[in-house]
Amino acid sequence: VERPASVIKELLENSLDAGATDVRIEVEAGGRRLLRISDDGCGMIRDDALLAFERHATSKLVSVDDLEAIATLGFRGEALPSIASVSRLVLETRARSESVGTRVEISGGKLLDCNELAFPGGTSITVRDLFYNVPARKKFLKAESTELSHIASLVTHYALAHPDKHFELHSSTNAVLVAPPVAGHSERVYQVFGKEVLDRLIPIAAVQPLERLGLPQPRGAGALARESSERDDGVEESRSPGELRAHGFVSKPEIQKLNRNSIYVFVNGRLIRDRLIQHAILEAYRNILPPTVYPVVLLFLELPTAEVDVNVHPSKTEVRLRQQSVVHDFVRDSVRAALMKSASRAAIYY
């Protein structure tokens, strides 16, 4: 946990993992004084609410095989305890199966209270005074407006990734984002950024079958996967390696940004920063954009979970792709094709 936006990222991913369709976030003083996130997800029963604050407690790994195919956004069971150790945190939650909810209060990692609570359902987590007990880290926080803009950008991009869900972000003075569910990604872009931006974006949609499985090398999890695909008589069952899918938007060359901050890449629903994919995108714009400027990109990559290892970086913003060059070239070619198609259409019109 480095800053308010990283707290929001963890809590937002937990809400989405919990099946929420409505996520509301409140922020005071750029998130330093207060962060609150409320969702309509599955909620937790009392025992799980307490367990959630134990390190490495996660409800998301059901069997060993799951490690190989992590479909949910979180799985390390570290976020809640880390956040609770550097703030004053209140969790309110109710599972649908329960008639009464639970309230847990933790301050600086110490359990202060755990009680029954009348609660409508879902989960609400309030984080006050982030880093109150870690002055060294508090010192590194930026101006309130900067922290708020990081949060706004994060929530906006999760809203773009999930057009079917309701997102709201409020600061003490205004409604930063109010995004009720819409039909699809372009409706969401229109809703959030307006017509002018949508007009300058090109939709991208591409699919490519994988030729093989990018099994982890050489032993360990790979051996497991091999075993499961081999029958008793030693005959290999044909296991389809699946496919790569890309969709989203890339900007026309007339949009020129001075940095990479408008390039957003989601891998299987998770916002990530990946050098390889960024490189592939910039390769696609070579000779289309001058080398010192950058496009606006909103790219959603979907790949079989066995093809991507998300357990590389604690904040899960990095991934390791099993077939790096295949994914790189797929992204480069899909983006390039979208740009070319739009350019040739423009040439016909003018």
Cβ neighbours of 333 (radius 10 Å): 16
Question: CA-to-CA distance for 121 and 1, rounded, in angstroms?
Answer: 27
For residue 48, what is the enclosing H or E element?
Answer: helix 46-51
- Which listed option, Mg ion, ligand ADP, none, makes contact with residue 75 (CB within 5 to 8 Å by class)? ligand ADP
Return phi, psi of residue 154, to 5°: -65, -50
Question: CA-to-CA distance for 265 and 319, rounded, in angstroms?
Answer: 11
- Which listed option, Mg ion, ligand ADP, none, makes contact with residue 268 (CB within 5 to 8 Å by class)? none
Specify the stretch interacting with Mg ion by CB under 5 A; choose among 47-55, 68-76, 151-159, 316-324. Answer: 68-76
Nearer Cβ to ligand ADP (25/44): 44
Bridge partner residues of 35 (DSSP): 27, 127
CB of 125 to ligand ADP, least distance (A): 7
Nearer Cβ to ligand ADP (305/324): 305
- Which listed option, Mg ion, ligand ADP, none, makes contact with residue 7 (CB within 5 to 8 Å by class)? none
Amino acid at 28: E
Question: CA-to-CA distance for 271 and 337, rounded, in angstroms?
Answer: 24
Reference 93, options 136, 153, 53, 141; nearest CA is: 53
Nearer Cβ to Mg ion (194/314): 314
Question: CA-to-CA distance for 242 and 239, rounded, in angstroms?
Answer: 9
Nearer Cβ to Mg ion (79/335): 79
CB of 248 to ligand ADP, least distance (A): 25
Q: Which of 1, 8, 15, 85 binds ligand ADP (CB under 6 A)?
A: 15
Please write down the HEC assignment for all residues of 73-86. Answer: CCCCCCHHHHHHHC
Specify the stretch interacting with ligand ADP by CB under 6 A; choose among 9-17, 143-151, 221-229, 318-326. Answer: 9-17
How close are the terminal C-alpha atoms of the chain, in Å? 51
Q: Which of 4, 74, 122, 295 binds Mg ion (CB under 5 A)?
A: 74
**Which of positions 4-63 make contact with Mg ion (CB under 5 A)?**
14
Nearer Cβ to ligand ADP (39/307): 39
CB of 150 to ligand ADP, least distance (A): 19
**Which of positions 16-45 make contact with ligand ADP (CB under 6 A)?**
18, 39, 41-44
**Which of positions 122-141 make contact with ligand ADP (CB under 6 A)?**
123
CA Rg, the chain, in Å?
22
Here the tokens at position 113 are 């209270």
Nearer Cβ to Mg ion (82/156): 82
3-state secondary structure of 109: coil
- Which listed option, ligand ADP, Mg ion, none, makes contact with residue 101 (CB within 5 to 8 Å by class)? none
Report the residue closest to ligand ADP, judged by CB: 74
Cβ neighbours of 95 (radius 10 Å): 18
Binding site for ligand ADP (CB under 6 A): 10, 14-15, 18, 39, 41-44, 48, 52, 57-60, 74-80, 123
